Amino acid sequence: MNRHGRWLLIAALLAGVAAPVAARKDKEEAPASQGSSAEPENPYPSTYKAYPGRPTVIRNATIFDGEGGRIDKGVVFLSEGKIVAIGGPDTPIPADIAVFDGTGKYVTPGVIDIHSHLGVYASPGVDALSDGNEMTSPVTPHVWAEHSIWPQDPGFGRALANGGVTTLQILPGSGNLFGGRSVTVKNVPARTQQGMKFPGAPYGLKMACGENPKRVYGGRGREPSTRMGNMAVDRQTWIKAREYQKKRAAGKDQTRDLGMETLADVLEGKILVHNHCYRADEMANVIDMSKEFGYKIAAFHHAVESYKIADLLRDNGICSAMWGDWYGFKMEAYDGIKENVPLVHRAGACAIVHSDDQDGIQRLNQEAAKALGAGRRMGIDISDEVAWTWLAINPARAMGISEQTGSLKVGKMADVVLWNGNPFSTYTRPEKVWIDGALLYDSADPKLRPVSDFELGQIGAGDVK
Amino acid sequence: MSKAAFKNPFGSSLSRTLACALVMAFSTPALAQSIAITGATLAIGDGSEPIQNGTVVITAGKVVAAGTGIAVPPGAKTIDAAGKWVTPGIVSGFSRLGLAEVPGVKETNDTRAARSPFSAAIDVAPAINPLANPVAISRTAGITRAVVAPVAANGIFAGQGAVVDLGADLTPITRPRAFQYVEMGEEGKDDAGGSRAAMILTFRMMLREAQEFAKAPASYDGRSKDALLNRVDAEALVPVVTGAMPLMVHVESARDILTILSLRQDFPALKLILAGATEGWMVAPQIAAAKVPVITAGLEDLPSSFEKLAATQSNVGRMVKAGVSVSMGMLTGDDALQLRAATQQAGNMVALTKVPGATGLSWGQALRTITAAPAEAMGLGDRIGSLRVGRAGDVVIWDGDPLEMTSAPVAVWIDGVAQPLENRQTRLRDRYATPGEGAVPKAYEW
């Protein structure tokens, strides 16, 4: 009951607390730098640098390229952090470099989790490390998830070693209608969040519809307490954002507003919207809202009823990020079915398997396998290599990083997993994981697995987890 | 099957409803005709490895034979399972099945009673709803029995749990009051006022009160200011102190495990079962020596709390290697809903055998943790949990290796009664097999 427990705990903690007044710009002394022209381009820049890697070849492996392609007895060649060559057994490779025999093994691009709270809801799950939901106002587009990330969360290492996860989007929670900015990170341990930040990845905006915002704020006797309240507060906020964005675009002077800056960037297509939404009817309302205000939704997250409106999602070019089999834990999840992912896929809409969970992120391949098997049983014949797009190019596209990663194409980041069997099997685990060409996990090398500061010197540190 | 539902939705749904009703009407008495399942990859559930071309024979609701070279009795209904796998029904070693339809909707949630004056006396058996949708959904995934525990809400003792079957009928209880449940870790200390020292003292004093009650029931004053237990709760703990009822203790850390084992010095009759035991591997020899079975989450590998700092997926394998009888169940995750995670937990134990430095389980041992082992932990090993002769006819035919996530049951029997494999989710799936409204609104497609 990790997520429920956490949620209930947070709700209980806040139940008796008087709701603070939403941050208002007129209460604040204007900072020295006023006006949109003073908005810094990138105030918390990535300092991530790829670690050095050796030129490496894997051959005789079954390759899923992440875009739906498959190569049997394939060859992948990594060098200087990039994929240099990929192809069949005849692919030319230079002499005297490290060669791994992949016979009986599989190679895929690194798993991308589009929905994670690692670092913002870190392990251990104590109050002091609970930093994912700024539930003091339903509208908090001014908060940035990256400012909550604790890079020492042991969950990052587990996601790497057990899940082959090389890139993940860290989102604020879903207590608020506008939860704040998400950030995309590479799953490489660092001392700072800046050291993990995926260079050049666009920011996301976390939004939420449905039960959570109306329960949190309705429970305190304030707006929103209903689904119509959710929509009304959303729309009022977008009206303000549109005004702010117009002034900004016209170069007019106005006091900086962090939340409005984020929303204006959404309206200008620079920040991608990731909208937590379960029910089909609510997704349809949100789609209309996006048209009313002229922004694009990159993906609905959780989306347990996407299968009911797969055609609508396809026609609007919106991805669905879904669990393999979660259902029924709350009312809006009641209609969850295992066939959600394959039904969305078959309709021609973009399907993604996500975790939203520190345990699930270690087994996204198995979550995808559940959906794949359920789909096949109802006659939806999806091949393994096509299903791998749910963990690779599809999330990469929805996160705006598909030019850099998400598939094994020449010139892309060498984010690669060598699996010790078919990755849709329960019996399979990552054997080696490269990120930007650097070997950062090797199951055969006990020293080549991350031990976070939190775990160092504790019982079990460095154990096979 | 989904296509058929669309061609003739009314007909097929009526026949389905009828089939369900028939199963419900006649499921309690086991069918007299023998059933022989032949040609399968057969796993018994007792820890042995699967065998090829196996046969299982069920007569009068019980397993009468399972193995190779078994003759099909005359008149038996024979089911060819060539190319398929056959196992005993999966037993969830820990759950809250049937106690919540939608856990987040409080009106449907019967797992805990924070405003009740009672604790140990609470008995979940009559609260378990066999018609809750998670029961049917779990049955469709091959779960045939489950251990159901209450949640502690009024002190450290939660009450008495049950073992249930997941048959499509109104008689779910295999064994009521199968165990008492107590919190003795981080949750327990909170329930006991805030410290482990207080928790241990509370535990001792409550068991002493139960002993007092047993000695002189009439003179036990559960209403005095000094009493920790009211009369009803004191009476409910009597079988715990006498060892007539197992005590399932939720503990996670190595330290707390040793503490609870040592309490048997003062209460030697306690029949302990450890639930959780995420750090069990650190004290596995002591657990094995104490002959205490463990029910654990299996895949817990994060220090999600300070009582789980040494968490590793190798916990199960290391404990089994040390001689501990280990079962798996929903100690984390959706304990009222996702009992079907059992096969995933077991499959991952097999995966660990290929990870250098990790300790996993063989396939047969892994299956045992979700079949015979939980049955034995509940003292029901002679009745359920395996396909050994004399056990209940709880049998599943799978379309592939049951520990693979791409596999699913194609047939399920409980007590020899064939079970329906449809549920709300399969009906939603069929309704939305094609997107968009058809000639009539979706609401008429049923």
pLDDT tens by residue, A259-305? 999 999 999 999 999 999 999 999 999 999 999 999 999 999 999 99
The tokens 């939720």 sit on which residue?
Answer: B250
Tokens of B146: 């489950």
A463: which chain B residues are within 8 Å (Cβ-Cβ)?
310, 312, 314
B89-101 in b/e burial notation, b at 16+ Cβ within 10 A? bbbbbbbbbbbbb
SS3 of residue B288 by DSSP: helix
Structural domain includes residue A428: no
Q: Is residue A77 part of a domain?
A: no
Give the C-alpha separation, A327 to A350, whole Å: 21
Kindly state the tokens that stand for A269.
């297509």
Interface check for B258 against chain A (CB to CB < 8 A): the answer is no
In a domain, A179, yes or no: yes
**Which segments of B111-183 does DSSP mark as H helices, in order?**
133-140
Determine the pLDDT at residue A29.
38
Q: How many CB pairs under 8 A join A and B?
A: 179
A450: enclosing H helix or E strand: none
A443–B429 C-beta distance less than 8 A = no
Residue A90 neighbours by CB distance under 10 Å: 7
Chain center to CA of A10: 22
Q: How many CA atoms lie within 13 A of B385 on its CB side?
A: 27
Pairing of strands B51-59, B35-42: antiparallel
CA-based nearest distance A430→chain B, Å: 9
Q: How many CA atoms lie within 13 A of A150 on its CB side?
A: 19
Token pair in block for residue B41: 């990859």
Q: With beta carbons less than 8 A apart as the criterion, state whether A388 and A66 touch.
A: yes
List Cα–Cα distances, A334 to A304, B103, B105, B320, B405, in angstroms. Answer: 9, 10, 11, 38, 22
A124:B301 CB<8 A: no
Contacts of B102 in chain A (CB under 8 A): 328-331, 333-334
Q: Which residue of B has its CA nearest to A307?
A: B432
Backbone angles phi, psi at B138, to 5 degrees: -70, -40
d(CA A244, CA A241): 5
Single pTM value for the model: 0.93
Nearest to B387 by CA among B361, B405, B364, B420: B364
Q: Which amino acid, one-letter code, is at B115?
A: R
Q: Cβ B305–A358 below 8 Å, yes or no? A: no
Closest chain A residue by Cα to residue B95: A1
Contact B435/A at CB under 8 A: yes
Rounded to the nearest angstrom, the minimum Cα separation between B39 and chain A is 22
Q: Where are the beta strands (DSSP E) in B352-408?
A: 395-398
| DSSP β-ladder status, B77-80 and B35-42 | parallel
**DSSP output for B317-364:** HHHHHTT--EEE--SSS-TTT-TTHHHHHHHHHHHGGGSTT-----HH
Give the minimum alpha-carbon distance from A176 to chain B in angstroms, rounded to a whole number. Answer: 18
Nearest residue, CB atoms, A370 vs list B334, B348, B405:
B405
Residue B181 structure tokens: 């449940």
Mutation site for A-interface testing, chosen from B99, B406, B407 by largest number of A Cβ within 10 Å: B406
Compute the residue count for chain A. Answer: 465
pLDDT score at B438:
87
Return the residue of A nearest to B361 by Cα: A427
Tell whether B441 lies on the interface with A, counting CB pairs under 8 A. Answer: no
**Count of other CB atoms within 10 angstroms of residue B32:** 10
Interface test with A, best of B278, B302, B314 (most A CBs within 10 A): B302
Report the distance separating Cα B43 and Cα B386, nearest Å.
9
Burial A188-205 (b: 16+ CB within 10 A, else e): bbbeebbbbbbbebbbbb
What residues in A contact B344, CB-CB < 8 Å? 363, 366, 426
- Flag whether residue A51 sits within 8 Å of chain B, measured between CB atoms: no
Q: Cβ(B49)–Cβ(B363) under 8 Å? A: yes
We report the CATH number of the domain holding residue A366 as 3.20.20.140
pLDDT for B31 equals 56
Show the domain range for A147: 111-405
Query: In DSSP terms, which residues pair with A197 in a beta bridge?
Result: A185
Contacts of A376 in chain B (CB under 8 A): 406
- The tally of domains found in chain A comes to 1
> What pLDDT is recorded for position A37?
52
Q: What is the pLDDT of residues A194-248, one digit of tens each?
A: 999 999 999 999 999 999 999 999 999 999 999 999 999 999 999 999 999 999 9
Residue A169, helix vs strand vs coil: strand
Provide, for chain A, the percentages of residues in helix, strand and coil under a 3-state DSSP scheme, each rounded to the nearest 5. Answer: 30, 20, 50
Provide the terminal-to-terminal Cα distance of chain B, rounded to the nearest Å. Answer: 13
Query: Would the CB atoms of A328 and B340 count as touching at under 8 Å?
Result: no
d(CA A214, CA A217): 5
Dihedral sign (CA B251, B134, B344, A390) = negative
B311:A465 CB<8 A: yes
A394-415 pLDDT tens trace = 999 999 999 999 999 999 999 9
| Mean pLDDT split into 10-residue runs, chain B, 446 residues | 35 44 45 90 98 98 97 96 98 98 97 96 98 98 98 97 98 98 97 97 98 97 93 98 98 98 97 98 98 97 98 98 98 95 98 98 98 98 98 98 98 98 98 90 92
Which among B134, B302, B350 is the nearest to A154, CB-wise? B302
CB half-sphere exposure, B145, CA atoms < 13 A? 32
Q: Does A128 touch chain B (CB under 8 A)?
A: no
Residue B243: the pLDDT is 98
Q: Which of B302, B354, B436 sits opposite A311 (nearest CB)?
A: B436
- Closest in A158, A336, A429 to B302, CB measured: A158
Residues in chain A with CB shorter than 8 Å from the CB of B305 are 124-126
- CA distance to partner chain A, nearest, from residue B415 (Å): 27
Cα A370-A375-A379 angle, rounded to 5 deg: 150
Distance CA B245, CA B177 (A): 8
Closest by Cα among B325, B349, B402 to B144: B402
Q: Quick one: tokens of A37?
A: 């022209």
C-alpha distance from residue B337 to each of A18, A334, B100 (Å): 35, 11, 8
Q: From CA A357, how far away is CA B226, in angstroms rounded?
A: 45
- pLDDT, one tens digit per residue, over A294-330 is 999 999 999 999 999 999 999 999 999 999 999 999 9
Interface mutation target, options A7, A121, A329, A456, chain B, most CBs of B under 10 Å: A329
For B336-373, write each residue's pLDDT tens digit.
999 999 999 999 999 999 999 999 999 999 999 999 99
B180 reaches A (C-beta below 8 A)? no
A33: distance to nearest CA of chain B, Å? 43
Q: What is the set of domains in chain B, with CATH numbers?
A: 1-88+385-446 (2.30.40.10), 90-381 (3.20.20.140)
Tell me the CA distances in angstroms from A71 to A84, A408, A425, B435, one per residue in order: 16, 11, 18, 33
